[in-house]
Amino acid sequence: MAFQARKATKIIPHFGNRMMNFLGSIEMGFASSYYATQLHKTPFSVQKIGNGVVGFEDMPTHLSARRFKSIKVEKRLDSVNDDRDNQVLEFPGGKVRFTPHMSFIPDRDKERIPCFRVLDDNGQASIFSNFTQVSKEVAVKMYNDMVTLQTMDTILYEAQRQGRISFYLTSIGEEAINIASAAALSLDDLIVPQYREAGVLIWRGFTLKEFASQCFGNKDDHCKGRQMPVHYGSKRYNYFTVASTIASQIPHAVGAAYSMKMEKKDACAVTYFGDGGTSEGDFHAALNFAAVLEAPVIFICRNNGWAISTPISDQFRSDGVIVKGRAYGVRSIRVDGNDALAVYNAVRAAREMAIQEQRPILIEALTYRVGHHTTSDDSTRYRPAEEIEWWRVAKDPVSRFRKWIESNGWWSNEAESELRSSLRKQLLEEIQLAERREKPPVAEAFTDVYDVPPSNLKEQESWLRKTIKTHPQDYPSNFPL
């Protein structure tokens, strides 16, 4: 396969008091797979992308583009001198310098990797942050969708507690990651979600009727009632159907991204997962897979501190998730997940790099799951109620973003009251309609797998119909045979 060399963008390293091995515009720390010493030697020319400054360098896009220079076969086992007269080993992957001093790489740096933020807790933008501004139209839609997600979660959670649906989980406290990341992407980008990304669908146009229909598993449900509630999927909106199995979607996203690369699409794959997902082997296999094949995929980790009842302190000793990207040669950034503008800027920059440079990007968004893990969980059993309340009030991403749009003159108390009242009315109406809507016929449970159903599947369908007729009290009255 032939590959062509081209110009690839790369964020100029900034120095001063910042760590030398980070790439990024002011205070945006994309951790690079290049060493700072190499960057000093790299000739750059400067250009602007949005409000950020970037540099260009000639860089081939084939699979060895960001690897060390290949060694010569005849020197493979020889020790040679480099330009500084130091003994080096010509080893697969590049030269390795010898040293007479024994030293172990420390388990972690003295200081933790900083977190990129634009808005403070009062919704004021930092005067030192060089971020890309969003228009009034985009900002207001972002806020509307964050409130929509928050309201929908509250009402459907209550519906589950009333026994009207079997299961639910919320994104309360994580609305900024949902909506702001979606705003920074294109509809052509494939979303491979975990199960807490309903906001991405809201941004793309999924209606309240579609959300309610899926949760109630009625005839209008795109999944035909075969999925648990909140396990959404939409071919129309390029949103891969949710699976409950933790981290299984991450390698799928890499495979999809590599397919996009082969087809030369101007798009990338984006996958979401929690901190608990990074403790699964699928995460590590996927990062290595993406780095080696240079797949245009964005990994977005919602590090909310808890994998159900397991805190991150019991999951790993590393400096969060961001350092795992560096270990696999994936450019990475840590961002304040409760700051919608920071998330928007980070994802926007990540998408540009993923597509233009054909590389994976890892984003660790620091946030907090204010709600219970699911309706099957009581998080007050393993974390203090005071801690939850502090995050809900002091760190609420929706309130923070509202303060910012209000300071710009784009929002008011009247608009807020009208929005919340209208949303609640619409949701209650859609829930009532979805609840009364007829269920999918029994036959739909056995379709969409085989062109011609095999005999064992036909037999199972027959058994199910017989069971429903024998025990009608165990099934909804509007359950059509």
Query: Which residues belong to the active site?
Result: 369, 373, 382
- Other residues' Cβ atoms within 10 Å of the Cβ of residue 318: 14
Are 303 and 273 a contacting pair, CB within 8 Å?
no
Q: Which long-range contacts (CB under 8 A, 24 or more apart) does 85-90 make?
A: none
| Burial environment of residue 361 by CB neighbours within 10 A (0 to 12, 13 to 18, 19 or more) | buried
Which residues is 269 bridged to in the sheet? 190, 297
| Residue 335 DSSP SS3 | strand
Are 48 and 29 a contacting pair, CB within 8 Å?
no
Q: Write out the two tokens for 62.
A: 């084939």
Helix intervals (H) in 30-78? 36-40
Q: Please report, to the nearest 10 degrees, the dihedral formed by the alpha carbons of residues 12, 15, 18, 23 taken in order.
A: 10
Distance (Å) of CA 273 to CA 87, 276, 377? 44, 8, 19
Sequence-ordered list of residues with C-beta below 8 angstroms from that of 194, at least 6 positions apart, any chain:
242, 246, 249, 272, 273, 274, 277, 302
Strand order in the sheet with 361-366: 22-23, 30-31, 331-336, 361-366, 297-303, 269-274, 190-192
DSSP characters over 153-204: HHHHHHHHHTTSSS-----TT-HHHHHHHHHTS-TTSEEE--SS-HHHHHHH
Sequence-ordered list of residues with C-beta below 8 angstroms from that of 401, at least 6 positions apart, any chain:
119, 123, 142, 143, 146, 176, 340, 341
Q: Write out the two tokens for 140.
A: 């207001």
- The residue type of 220 is D
In the chain, DSSP finds a helix count (H) and a strand count (E) of 13, 15
